[in-house]
Each structure stands twice: as structure tokens, then as C-alpha cells.
Amino acid sequence: MRDEYSIYVHIPFCKARCGYCAFSSSTDLSLQWRYFDKLFREIEYYSDKTKPIRTVYIGGGTPSVADTKFIDELFARLRRFFDLSSVEEATAECNPESASADVLNCFKSNGVNRLSFGLQSVNDPTLKKIGRLHTYADFISALKRAFDLGFDNINADLIIGLPERHSDFVHSVRTAAELPLAHVSVYALELHQGTPLYSALNGKSPFDDDEQADMYDEAAEILTEHDFCRYEISNFAKEGRQCKHNLHYWREGRYFAFGAAASGFVDDVRFTDPWSIQDYLSTPVEHMRDGTREKISRSEEANEFAMLGLRLESGVSLSEFHKRFGIRFDDFFTAADGLIARGFLAVDGDRVKVPSDKFYVVNSILAELWQDD
């Protein structure tokens, strides 16, 4: 995976701010000219045609609000400055209200073969409460447009813990599970100080941890009943439809990254571009990554490889770990045997995994594994 590369591009524009948003995004679409001009210069400056790219991910923000002439030019630049000849998967994030036929056609003609929609809930009152601009009907129209244009690899994101009833969340999962989606992601709501939703809820999630764990288990059960297979803690896919780009991250693959707040991992160095759009625009491309470059040691990489791999249903291959890092998994992680004895990790042939019924507490398990290392 160290020789395999992906590309992430951040498009930080949205029509409106969602009530819970803490991402790098702006509603000032007039900044697009300057932003894309900078992005194109960054892509050219860090160009590298020696590493074939396997996946491309255009995230945000909301890439579907960007003017299509910028998206066309973005892909033209990526093709000119990187080797996209063997890309297997190219994803674009969309919001339902901005995924017009024009935008979807533009993505399609540039090789995008996977769409990821921010659905969040199928309940219109909830969508309104959290500041989303779309209704469930808008999502269905966008989905139909996407299918009509030939997209068949489509994800929808849902959120656990929104200000709605437990049963409303279950209704969202059940409804999404019955749609012809290839992939569903289920994330827990993160309440960030300073966001309108944080103030509206006085910083307190509507559900306690136990109830959220029950909601997650119900979601996993419903999705599994509908032939979605959980392959990572938050991600469920129909057979063969796992997101290759995310799997590449989780398997400690390398990736180029461009745009505000984008983080990359090239050769053995991690870096992050300036977080705010203003800082991104005002920093010369040659200094954009200054102060953030961090060379990852083999030991740090071994740790990350295990931490990311154990969030996958398939876990970590013990022989691959040994081959890659020259040390046995249980010699590297001295807490592993104890966790295995207590049933928080399980060895299945060549793989070590978090058992399915412990998936919701994966973060505590990983913290114990890491701390005792």
C-alpha cells in the first residue's frame, strides 16, 4: 500500500451552514474564482506523474455546489499533472438540493463513478431543525437523476443522535436500507462548541451513550438484514461496493491532498494545508505545508496500521503486520494478549479483529491497546 496512491481534493463551499458543521467550509461562493485558481496552482506545484493513482475523492464542503467549469478544469489539471490512467474509483460528495443533472453530468463526463450524498435523515422536520436545505423528496429526486445518468454506486450518510426521537432515526435507517443504494455510512453526531446546534442543545446530546449504542446496533441489524455488510465501524456496503478510497486510508495507503484543510500522506510524510479558506488563499503554494510536515516512523506507522485496521470488520492480517514491520503483532502491542483473553480482541486464523458485539466500544479497545504499548 505504500506504493499505491489516492488523491483527495477539498471543495469548501456550501449553500448554507448546517447547524452542526465544524468543517472548513464557506457560503461565500464568490470566492470560487480565487479558490480554484489557488487549487490549480497547488496541484501543478506538487504534481507527480510517477505514482499511478487508484482512487480520487472530491469532498467538502459540497462539491456539487461548485460551478461545473471549475470542476471540469479541476479534472483536466489532475489528468495533466498526475497519472489517472488506472483510477478504479472516483467519488464526488453531493448534497441533494444541488445535485442537478448538469452537475451530475459534469461529474460523469470527468470519470466520477461513485456519488456520496449527505442525506443525514429522511425526516423533514429533523432536516429543517439541523439546517439542511433539502427534504427527503429532494434526495429521492437526486437519486433518480443519478440513476438515470448511469450512476449505480451511491452512498448516503446518516447521523445517529440528531434532535429527533429514537424511532425517527430507526425510520431513517429502515427507509435508506430499502433504497437501491450501494453503501450507507452511519456516523454519530459530534457536537462542536460554537455551532448553532451546540447552543440549541446546550452542548448536550439528546441521547446518552447507552441509547446511542442501542441505536447503532439497531442500524447495523437493519442494514445487515438488507444485505449491507459492515466493513468498518461506520460503513456498510452491498457486496463488492466497499469504498475503495476509504479502505485505502484505513490500510495506511498513501495519498496526495489538495485544498483548504486537506491532509495528505506522501512517501512517509504527513502534512495538512491551511485550515481556513482565507489562510489557504493567502499562503503561497510553496509554503502551504510548512510547519505541518511530519515524517512517520516505522513504529508510528505500525501503530496507525493496527489502529485503522482494527476498525475494519476484517481486522488486521497478522502475517502482513509481521512482514511489513518486522515484528509480531503481540510483541509490538504488549496489551494484545490481555485484550484477547478478555474477549475484546479475537484471533481468527491469520487475522486479529474486534468481535462484532464489541464494535461500538472499539475506541476504548484501541485506547487500551495503544496505551499499554
Contact positions toward ligand SF4, by CB under 6 A?
A: 14, 17-18, 21, 23, 25, 60-62, 95, 118
Q: Where are the beta strands (DSSP E) in the chain?
A: 5-11, 53-60, 89-94, 114-120, 154-160, 183-188, 229-232, 235-237, 254-258, 263-266, 269-272, 294-295, 316-317, 346-348, 351-353
- Which among 317, 325, 334, 328 has a CA at the least distance from the CA of 370? 334
Of 133 and 213, which CB lies nearer to ligand SF4 in the complex structure?
133
Give the nearest distance from C-beta 117 to ligand SF4 in angstroms. 11
Give the nearest distance from C-beta 261 to ligand SF4 in angstroms. 10
Give the nearest distance from C-beta 121 to ligand SF4 in angstroms. 13
222 sits in which H/E element:
helix 209-225
Burial tier of 144 (Cβ tally within 10 Å: 0-12, 13-18, 19+): exposed
Of 95 and 234, which CB lies nearer to ligand SF4 in the complex structure?
95
Instruction: Count other Cβ atoms within 10 Å, centred on residue 267.
Output: 10
Of 25 and 185, which CB lies nearer to ligand SF4 in the complex structure?
25
Give the nearest distance from C-beta 298 to ligand SF4 in angstroms. 35
Of 58 and 302, which CB lies nearer to ligand SF4 in the complex structure?
58
Give the nearest distance from C-beta 60 to ligand SF4 in angstroms. 6
Of 117 and 216, which CB lies nearer to ligand SF4 in the complex structure?
117
- Which among 320, 242, 366 has a CA at the least distance from the CA of 2? 320
Residues 6+ apart with CB under 8 A from 13: 25, 26, 27, 28, 29, 31, 32, 35, 60, 61, 62, 65, 66
Q: Where are the alpha helices (H) located in 310-372, listed in sequence order?
A: 318-325, 329-332, 336-341, 362-371
Give the nearest distance from C-beta 187 to ligand SF4 in angstroms. 11
Of 18 and 366, which CB lies nearer to ligand SF4 in the complex structure?
18
**How would you label 82-94 residue by residue, b for 16+ Cβ within 10 Å and e otherwise?**
bebeebebbbbbb
Report the C-alpha gap between 87 and 293 in whole angstroms.
27
Kindly state the DSSP code that residue 255 receives in the 8-state scheme. Answer: E
Give the nearest distance from C-beta 25 to ligand SF4 in angstroms. 4
Of 14 and 285, which CB lies nearer to ligand SF4 in the complex structure?
14
Give the nearest distance from C-beta 321 to ligand SF4 in angstroms. 35
Cβ atoms of residues 79 and 71 within 8 Å: no
Preceding amide of 343 cis, omega within 30: no
Longest pairwise C-alpha distance within the chain: 58
Q: Output the nine-digit C-alpha cell for 161.
A: 443522535
Of 118 and 315, which CB lies nearer to ligand SF4 in the complex structure?
118
Q: Output the nine-digit C-alpha cell for 167.
A: 424511532
Of 65 and 243, which CB lies nearer to ligand SF4 in the complex structure?
65
Q: Where are the beta strands (DSSP E) in 173-212?
A: 183-188
Give the nearest distance from C-beta 17 to ligand SF4 in angstroms. 5
Of 21 and 31, which CB lies nearer to ligand SF4 in the complex structure?
21
Instruction: Count other Cβ atoms within 10 Å, centred on residue 281.
Output: 14
- Which among 29, 49, 112 has a CA at the least distance from the CA of 11? 29
Give the nearest distance from C-beta 357 to ligand SF4 in angstroms. 31
